[in-house]
Structure 1
Amino acid sequence: MKNEERLEKGECKLRILPVQDALEILSGKWKLPIIIALLHGVKRFSEISKEVTGITDRMLSKELRDLEMNHLVKRTVYDTFPVTVEYTMTEYGETLKDVIGALYDWGKNHRIKVFNFDKEPENIEK
């Protein structure tokens, strides 16, 4: 490797830390599917539960709290009877659109390369 291409001592660690932070916030089986569901519009709890197949209500509640704590999701409670609660992406959360799009593109290409799929999976919207 050329000297000018080498990272300065400690620079590699500085590049790793933000990626580790992002992965910690987005990690797990459910956060990205929840985010993808909410990137398609405002949803009530039951709507998210139906769209994110296999998640329990308890886990969905926990993950939504985590996403809200990290300023990615906004929870709005309406004074109705019964109480209506809606979830939406925050402006900050919307910044994940490009990240999700890049992951989608990479995953689609990976499926083609590794699994020899020659077409885009059905019923998937970007």
Structure 2
Amino acid sequence: LHGKKINNHTANEAINHGFALVTEERRSTGIYAYLVIGFNSLISNIRNYKNKVGLLDNSRMKSDTQWVIDSMRVKTPGHRTQIGSLSGGNQQKVIIGRWLLTQPEILMPGSYTPLRA
């Protein structure tokens, strides 16, 4: 990456090196079906939402979740909706948005259905 050899031994190392993987099996490895869209949007980047005293910055988390919903055109009543209640395509949009929030250098898709405009 950028002319340097990268050895990723853990998922955290891969994320820190700018890699993002959209898993092929979204239901078994991509989402937390009983948790809300907000959590599912932010989980790959959650450590970056801590404020100076180590608490989570709720306003920034809500803003980034809304960015995922808006930019990926997720059809949902809101960020507190359980992701498992969304269609498969909308779940996939949340997963892609999650990884875009990490600002990856390389986004590696598994098998996917193209997004419709």
Instruction: Please confirm whether the aligned pair reaches a TM-score higher than 0.5, indicating the same fold.
Output: no
Determine which structure has more spread, i.e. the larger CA radius of gyration: 1
**TM-score of the superposition, structure 1-length normalised?**
0.29
Higher helix share: 1
Higher strand share: 1
**TM-score of the superposition, structure 2-length normalised?**
0.30
